[in-house]
A and B are shown apart, each in its own frame.
Chain A
Amino acid sequence: MTFNGYGVWAIYRFEMARALRTIWQSIVTPVITTALYFVVFGGAIGSRMQEVGGVPYGAFIVPGLIMLSLFTQSIFNASFGIYFPKFTGTIYEILSAPVSSLEIVLAYVGAAATKSAVLGLIILATASFFVPLQILHPFWMMAFLILISVTFSLFGFIIGVWADGFEQLQMIPMLIVTPLTFLGGAFYSIDMLPEGWRTVTLFNPIVYLISGFRWAFYGQGDVSIGVSLTATLGFFALCLAIVMWMFKTGYRLKN
């Protein structure tokens, strides 16, 4: 046996079953939250806002909103997926099974990424009921959607392994990712900022992710698509390297 396909499938299915069991929490809640954003920012406030680069404000914020959900849901799903067995002790079985660390990551991250990618598409469909949408580069839209789901699921997996308690699970998404997303141009173009702040914003990695995704929709972004893609792949590689190191050293998984 060189690849434990049954093992990967077992974990993947287990994780997907958990989502289906808690379908309300997994799918319905984020959809309602996003719909509220459209009502408030798109409908109520958006009607008083200027178009951004020829795109109505309501439509402009769609990529940013999807990104916000992808970030938070990927991190939540993956971190919870690996943290919970650690918390209950059922991790013993995973650690004693003939699955390699790569297979474990593949299964947990794959399931978390699948869930958030599906959720992203559901939010996209929801948005199309509220605002006129256009997707200039569907291939790149899907590519960014999947790449970012996978990357943030990896990131979530790291948090889940690292976390010692439920507070820590919440801490990074709430204290770092959500603020960076709000400041990363989810709801505005960074061109709207004064010169000095624009430079500061360029240190926020989230800017590159949102910009790339928005480019796939409207053909325009705050930074060039090449830079966006490089930044996204860079973050992906970084997360992957950390995960591999964790398994190699048994960090917080094995004594």
Chain B
Amino acid sequence: MPAIAPVIAIEGLTKTYKSGHQALKRVDLNINKGEIFALLGPNGAGKTTLISIVCGIVTPTTGVITADGHDIQTDFRAARTKIGLVPQELTTDAFETVMATVTFSRGLFGKAPNPAFIEQLLKDLTLWDKRDAKLRTLSGGMKRRVMIAKALSHEPDILFLDEPSAGVDVELRRDMWVMVRRLRERGVTIILTTHYIEEAEEMADRVGVILKGELILVEEKTALMKKLGKKTLTLNLTEPLTAIPAELSDWGLTLKTDGGELEYSFDANADDTGVPSLIRRLETLNIGFKDLNTRQSSLEDIFVSLVHTNGTAA
């Protein structure tokens, strides 16, 4: 762990709604300055509740949270000035213009007007040509850009993106990734929630998995993939097999493509992966193969297996 203080520190956070629904069971989480942190989890896991609490929209039941060293409740002004939020829902004032709504946001967060900054921001988000357009005339993708512009209008150090890719086309998603990287280069810390694994895989430095109100895992993305990463070995056979010979039952193989391919799934970090012995056994059995390849499982595979094991354990 780096010695510098975390930019967001969450300690013992719980949230029970009035209905009795326990949205967050106990969350402890530190976000490091300048990192991109992805919060993964299925719908209803508590991602939005967690973000909403840090941003001041939902009151926590218990727990202490600081943003850049400022307690979000007792020192809310200093804490909230540092934070920008792009919510999941596209909620905009239909009759306002792009320029007016973004200028409003800057003022609301206590910053003096800065037309030059707003102009650059709108240009960066390709909104400048639309600055006088009423929000209700904009497409969904454009509205999403407006929401981002509003969140960045007061130059926050911490940016929350709640499901940034929900209902967004490929082009905007790519643009957004570029923007997120550019913000990170400027030192902005980014926390995003998503259930699109590729988004986390593409962008995040660290990944947290939240499930039924509990943060079940926080890990460097690369370490996570290595640690939990299963690898799959695929062998293209010279002669198709009709069944897996009994001598190979120890490996738990599967036959694919009408017996033309043999698949072996193994733990890449194990001392004995079972690969060399499998190949030796194949040799003794006289099963030839033309080609072989191994594939690292994606974050999605990891996620699915995590959700699965925890789901059945609970």
Contact = CB atoms under 8 A, between A and B. Distances in A.
Contacts of B103: 10
19 contacts: A1-B81, A4-B110, A6-B109, A7-B107, A9-B107, A10-B105, A10-B106, A13-B107, A14-B96, A17-B100, A21-B95, A90-B91, A92-B85, A96-B83, A96-B85, A97-B108, A98-B79, A250-B59, A254-B59
Nearest to A17: B100
Nearest to A89: B91
Contact of B92 (A9, A11, A18, A90): A90
A90 B135 CA distance: 13
Interface residues of A, number: 28
B81 A255 contact: no
Given A10-B104, A254-B58, A1 B92 contact: no
Contact of B77 (A4, A13, A18, A250): A4
Interface of A: 1, 4-7, 9-11, 13-14, 17-18, 21, 88-90, 92-100, 250, 254-255
Contacts of B76: 98
B105 A6 contact: no
Contacts of B78: 1, 98
A71 B56 CA distance: 33
Given A88-B91, A96-B85, A10 B80 contact: no
B59 A93 contact: no
B107 A98 contact: no
B1 interface: no
Contact of A255 (B59, B100, B112): B59
B55 interface: yes
Contacts of A4: 77, 110
Given A6-B110, A255-B59, 13 more contacts: A6-B112, A10-B106, A13-B104, A13-B107, A89-B89, A93-B85, A93-B105, A93-B108, A93-B150, A96-B56, A97-B80, A98-B79, A255-B58
A255 B77 contact: no
A149 B108 CA distance: 25
A155 B253 CA distance: 73
Contacts of A96: 55-57, 80, 83, 85
Given A89-B91, A96-B83, A1 B77 contact: yes
Given A92-B57, A93-B150, A255-B58, A11 B87 contact: no
Interface in B53-108: 55-59, 76-81, 83, 85, 87, 89, 91-96, 100, 103-108
B17 A255 contact: yes
A94 B108 contact: yes
B58 A7 contact: no
A213 B79 CA distance: 46
Count chain A CB atoms within 10 A of each CB in B17, B76, B150 and give the residue with the most: B76
B110 A254 contact: no
Nearest to B89: A89
Pick the most buried of B18, B80, B83, B108: most chain A CB atoms within 10 A of its CB: B108
Contacts of A6: 106-113
A254 B59 CA distance: 7
A89 B78 CA distance: 24
Nearest to B147: A93
A250 B87 CA distance: 20
Contact of A97 (B59, B87, B96, B109): B109
B99 to A, nearest CB: 12
Contacts of A90: 91-93
B52 to A, nearest CB: 8
Contacts of B94: 88
Nearest to B51: A96
A7 B111 CA distance: 8
A183 to B, nearest CB: 38
Contacts of A255: 17-18, 58-59
